[in-house]
Chain A
Amino acid sequence: MKTFEFIRAADLKGAIEGAARAKTAQQGADVRFVAGGTTLIDLMKLNVETPAHVIDINRLPLDKVETTPDGGLRIGATVRNSDLAHHPIVKQDYAVLSEALLSGASTQLRNMATTAGNLLQRTRCMYFRETAMPCNKRKPGSGCPAIAGSNRMLAILGASEHCIATNPSDMCVAMAALEATIHVQGPKGSRAIPIAGFHLLPGDTPQRETVLEPGDLITHVTLPAPISGSRQVYLKLRDRASYEFALASAAVVIKIAGGNVINARIALGGVGTKPWRSPAAEAVLLSQPATPANFRKAAEAALRDAKAQSENGFKIELAKRCLAHALQMAAKG
């Protein structure tokens, strides 16, 4: 671990100004905010993250969960994953988010992990975490050993020839299905970024993972008002029963009336290079009967563009079953 300066931010302005000095807010950032630290400190110990300055944002007033005037929810950036998962409104109206959060990591980690930190958690690709190995994401242009190596956990959707790393977050998948908006304050003021436009595909710049620029501080996330009468399910498939990242997961928010699907929002996790919203699956379902056959069709559509790597071909079928089953669970209520 490299020696770094630790700064405890007193207010938003100070935090943003401090971070605006950085050359990038992406891989290689020399200034980093720290929230729960469960991603950042871990990667600093591995020398994957080597910031010279670490700005602690835990004392900023960003830890509230509040309803918004339009009936939605405003979630502060430093709200702990545990607190969010157990929040009564979240459990009631955004069950898919609560379930997704609780399926992630362990109690201890969730007690530390925050909303913003979770949005920005890094891939678990094992080569990314080992500085002795090449990795285009960590060291642009050095190559991607995962393509010929251990890639069982890696992506089947959205990968490029430069990087096939999965976005490992469960929370983000639920937020994608809930159409969350991420609110950022930066040196040039504030802006709101729909979650679908927040994470980037790797393309030929896998080191760039989000649209964030130096000094950008996530202040909160908003969720639109819940779709009344919708049913929500988060289903996560993995080898063991707990404390493991998803091999495939599905977040579904659907509304059924008269046996037909009248609203569907679907996102997949564990399979994409970013939290994977699937308009194709949604289109298949819309206005169609809520039947297992249609659910399977939706799943086929969601995975139509999937591309297998040497070890993870099974994830295509697994993700299909995951989505079809999640839809079935939601339909059953």
Chain B
Amino acid sequence: MPTTPPGPGESPVGRSTPRVDGPRKVSGLAQYTSDFNFPGMLYAVPVEATIASGRVVKLDLDTAGKMPGVQAILHRENIGKIFRSVLGQGFDGICEERRPPFEDDVIRYYGQYIALAVADTFENAKAAADAVRVGYTREKPNVETDLKAEDEPNRLVSTFGPKERLQSQRGDADAAFANAPVKLDQTYVTPAETHNPIELHATTAIWDGSRLTLYESSQGVFNLRGVLAQMFGLPKENVQVISRFVGSGFGGKLFPWTQCPLAAAAARQLGKPVKLVLSRKMMFQSVGHRARTQQRVRLGATPDGKLVSLHHDYVYHRSMLDDHHEDCGEATAFHYSVPNLRVAFGRARRNVGATADMRGPGAVPGLYATESALNELADQLKIDPIKLRVLNEPKIDESLNLPFSSRHLLECFEIGAEKFGWSRRNPEVGSMKRDDLTLGWGMAGCTWIAARFPAEASLQLRDDGTARVACGTQDIGTGTYTILAQLASEKTGITLDKIEVALGDTSLPEGPLSGGSMVTGSLVPAVFAAADNAIKSLLTVATTTPGSPFEKRKFDDLAFERGRVFVKADDPARGVPFAHLLQLANLRLVTGNGKSDGSFGDPNAKFSTHSFGCHFVEITWQPEIARLRVSRVVTAIDAGRILNPLAGRNQIEGAVVMGIGMALFEHTSYDRETGAPINSSLADYVMAVNADAPPIDVHFLDYPDKEINQLGARGIGEIGLAGVAAAVTAAVHHATGIRVRELPVKIEDLLT
């Protein structure tokens, strides 16, 4: 892969391309949601419940209402009508906590909003919110960490449509396990984790008659528009959502949360723009978290390591209000070759805020469990964990009976092992040393969905030689601005500095959610089609404009390359710049629109489409002081063609660091007595910091997957996180002899 920037006339696709929005970000010109201010704007601060279960019996607003600058204290009786949105509407109406704020007086989780103080300044609003006195009847909250599946039928309702608890089944897993010569039966636990993007959730709502404009830090402006239109009983076209820059979301900003209708309802009532920015503490309460999971994995195998059965039974927690599905079994049924398999799940309600997608939802906790089980089986059989995986590598997707579009996992293992030096591994626990440190080496595989969401885009060629590409998707910090510019450049030959990118606005062509690592893959066909149509329009102009050098030519004789129109038979370099032709025709621009269809969830798919990869992790262990650190990571990723290696590496590295955090630090603790997420600050919720980020060596295989799009590009936003925790815990075992099956690995687990 070229790592240098494109030379003149070369396409930037496949080349390391610095972010086109970088200068705006580092100079502060990039406007994030809370940077937008409007004349007369008011500030809203929610009042949070300080119990996790019970009822509000008294709301004393006397003091708060009379405080300086206060415009209103809104609550259940005066907020005005907010409707529910319908469940299961596709990506047009998804909302994890569908109960509109203030709908009843029941408190179901700590931090649930009870009232909203609106004032002329943020400080006044906060002071008023703090002065609201709430009387409760309290019940003991249920935040029990041990999870048992509730009694529920096989077919369940979920945010993403109906789900079967018996998720996947083939052969006779019970019988095969019972008769298997080698067995493994272990339970793995992952804790609740909280998304902690640096940019807090924020909403600014503006009403103009029956039109609602919403500035929101969002990973899905169109879905948000759909939900808000329902909640306020408006036609969709009356709602506009704008999210120009997002200071990351990690899935927490995919779907709307209750602060969003609250800001809109306050703006409706007070007739002024209302801004509402959450506090860090609220980020732990009311805007989603990764569910706690408890996963039992049973493996049956032959003595030489061939899997004969796989059971994956998992339970996750969710709130009293959401129908989120944490699909831990997403990868289980296709990742390994095994004739007898059963994947099934259950769920348990708790007095916690809604659960939600968090980077690599489902598969990340799921693969931690299954990959850990595989590593344990390898140790039990005394065979190399790579060898065990090679032995059980499937030829096809055995759950769907479909071929993989492009699966190069074995090559990932080879490359990763080579770069890491895996062949030098001595499997004996505690046997490897460097200086005064004990080393632990571990590895794990990973996989993530590859598919397309439907997407639309438009592309304009303009008379000043520039282009504009537009799509109402979002850039959540991953590089979507840059990818759109690269794609437009690839098709038009216009250099990146002459391409304007517009995104993050529902007034633009409908673009996908920034989720599932699917944006890039979905955009390719849409932008390419848009470019083709713009070029067609340009060629028509060339053949029909009086005085055009191509006036007498037939449309089909012409071609367009590197910004010039030319006669196919001639030298492209002698072609005419498109700006020239537009000027001649007195046109400011020609536009092309393009569309790509979705492939996500396609029941008639001909291929099983996924990305693959693996991680090799080295940890250092100092038993004298119980100090464990990750010292290096090698990651090999097969995610189709990499369109921007610079941004791609950045995604994988960031994900690996997050994986280290998942393995060793991150967890949200709920106070047993009050149900409060008690470590709700960036100091108390421990995540990996720079000092914890080791050297990370990332290798992309770069095999194009033409099932996904013309360029063969799949997504890379999430796969880098999957598997890391299993590789870390394997390394921990290799160094210490201690098998930790409940994340995060804590010092107390290792102090023996």
Do A and B come together as binding partners?
yes
Interface, chain A (partner B; CB < 8 A)? 1-3, 47, 124, 126-127, 129-130, 132-133, 145, 148-150, 235, 237, 239-245, 247, 313-314, 317-318, 321-322, 324-325, 328
15 contacts between A and B (CB under 8 A): A2-B127, A124-B683, A130-B676, A145-B674, A150-B669, A235-B625, A239-B665, A240-B686, A240-B687, A244-B686, A314-B747, A317-B751, A318-B626, A318-B751, A321-B626
Number of B residues whose C-beta is below 8 Å from A? 34
Apart from A239-B664, A314-B747, A318-B625: 10 A-B pairs, beta carbons within 8 A:
A124-B684, A126-B678, A145-B674, A149-B672, A237-B627, A240-B664, A240-B689, A243-B689, A244-B683, A321-B625
Nearest residue (CB) in A for B694 is A241
B602 at the interface (CB under 8 A from A): no
Residues from chain B with Cβ under 8 Å of A240 in the complex: 664-665, 686-689, 691-692
A47-B130, A124-B684 given; A242·B691 CB < 8 A: yes
Inter-chain contact B127/A3, CB cutoff 8 Å? yes
Q: B interface vs A, CB < 8 Å?
A: 50, 123, 126-127, 130, 624-627, 629, 664-665, 669, 671-674, 676, 678-679, 681, 683-684, 686-692, 746-748, 751
A241, B692: Cβ atoms under 8 Å? yes
CA distance A220 to B531 in the complex (A): 70
- The complex places the Cα of A244 from the Cα of B689 at a distance, in Å, of 10
List B contacts of A245 (CB < 8 A).
683
* Pairwise interchain contact B689-A149, C-beta atoms closer than 8 A: no
Picked from A145, A242, A325, the residue with its CB within 8 Å of the CB of B625 is A325
Q: How far is the CB of B225 from chain A (nearest CB, A)?
A: 34
* Complex Cα–Cα for A322 and B623 (A): 11
The answer to whether B676 touches A148, judged by C-beta atoms less than 8 angstroms apart, is no
Q: Which of B625, B678, B683 contacts A237 (CB 8 A)?
A: B625
Shortest A248–chain B CB gap in Å is: 9
Q: Which residues of A contact B747 (CB under 8 A)?
A: 237, 239, 247, 314, 318
A302 to B629, CA, bound (A): 27
On whether the beta carbons of A132 and B664 are closer than 8 Å, the reply is no
B127, A1: Cβ atoms under 8 Å? yes
Q: Which residues of B contact A150 (CB under 8 A)?
A: 669, 671, 678-679
The answer on a CB contact under 8 Å between A321 and B624 is yes
Q: Report the bound CA distance from A328 to B673 in whole Å.
A: 43
Q: Which 10 A-B pairs have the closest CB atoms?
A: A132-B50, A242-B691, A241-B691, A314-B748, A325-B625, A241-B692, A126-B678, A150-B678, A314-B751, A243-B689
Interfacial chain B residues near A148, Cβ < 8 Å: 672-673
In the bound assembly, the distance between CA atoms of A145 and B675 in angstroms comes to: 12
CB A100 to nearest CB in B, in angstroms, measures 16
Residues of B within 8 A of A244 (CB): 683, 686
> Shortest beta-carbon distance, A201 to chain B, in Å?
25
Given A124-B683, A317-B751: A145 in contact with B626 (beta carbons within 8 A)? no
B630 CB, min distance to chain A CBs, angstroms? 10
In the complex, what distance in Å separates the CA atom of A145 from the CA atom of B669? 14
Q: Give the distance to chain A from B72, nearest Cβ to Cβ, in Å.
A: 20
B664 engages A242 (CB within 8 Å): no
Complex: A243 Cα to B684 Cα, angstroms: 10
Cα separation A313 to B749 with both chains bound (whole Å): 12
> How far apart are the CA atoms of A313 and B669 in the complex, in Å?
18
Residues of B within 8 A of A235 (CB): 625
Tell me the smallest distance from the CB of A208 to a CB of chain B, in Å. Answer: 25
Pick from A3, A239, A317: contact of B686, CB under 8 Å = A239
Chain B residues with CB under 8 A of A322: 625
**Considering the chains assembled together, what is the distance between the CA atoms of A88 and B487 in angstroms?**
55
Q: In the complex, what residues of A have CB within 8 A of residue B673's CB?
A: 145, 148-149
Query: In whole Å, how far is A141's beta carbon from the nearest beta carbon of chain B?
Result: 18
User: Complex Cα distance A239/B688, Å?
Assistant: 10
Min distance, Cβ B107 to any Cβ of chain A, angstroms: 13
CA distance A148 to B674 in the complex (A): 11
Could you tell me the distance between the alpha carbons of A324 and B622 in the complex, rounded to whole angstroms? 13
Shortest Cβ distance from residue A331 to the other chain B in the assembled complex, whole angstroms? 14
Q: Please state if A133 and B679 are interface contacts (CB–CB under 8 Å).
A: no
Q: Are A1 and B689 in contact (CB under 8 A)?
A: no
Measured in the bound complex, the distance between the Cα atoms of B687 and A244 in whole Å is 10
Q: Kindly provide the distance from the CB of A90 to the nearest chain B CB, expressed in whole angstroms.
A: 23
Q: Which residue of A lies closest to B628 (CB)?
A: A239
A1 near B751: Cβ-Cβ < 8 Å:
no
**Which residues of B are found within 8 Å of A314, using beta-carbon distances?**
747-748, 751
How many angstroms between the C-alpha atoms of A325 and B746 in the bound complex?
Answer: 20
Q: For B626, list chain A residues within 8 Å (CB).
A: 237, 318, 321
Instruction: Report yes or no: A241 in contact with B689, Cβ–Cβ below 8 A.
Output: yes
Most buried by A among B126, B746, B748: B748
B624 touches A325 (CB 8 A): yes
Q: How far is the CB of B693 from chain A (nearest CB, A)?
A: 9
Closest to A245 in B: B683
Known: A148-B673, A150-B678, A325-B624. A239 touches B689 (CB 8 A): no
Residue pair B674, A242 in contact (C-beta under 8 Å): no
Cβ–Cβ < 8 Å partners of B691 in chain A: 240-243
Evaluate whether A149 and B665 lie within 8 angstroms (CB atoms) in the complex, with A237-B625, A242-B689, A325-B625 already known: no
Given the complex, which residues of B lie within 8 Å of A133, measured CB to CB?
Answer: 674, 676
CA gap between A47 and B127 in the complex, in Å: 10
For A312, give the chain B residue with the smallest CB separation. Answer: B748
Q: Separation in Å of the B144 CB from the closest CB of chain A? A: 15
Taking CB atoms, residues of chain B closer than 8 Å to A237 are: 625-627, 747
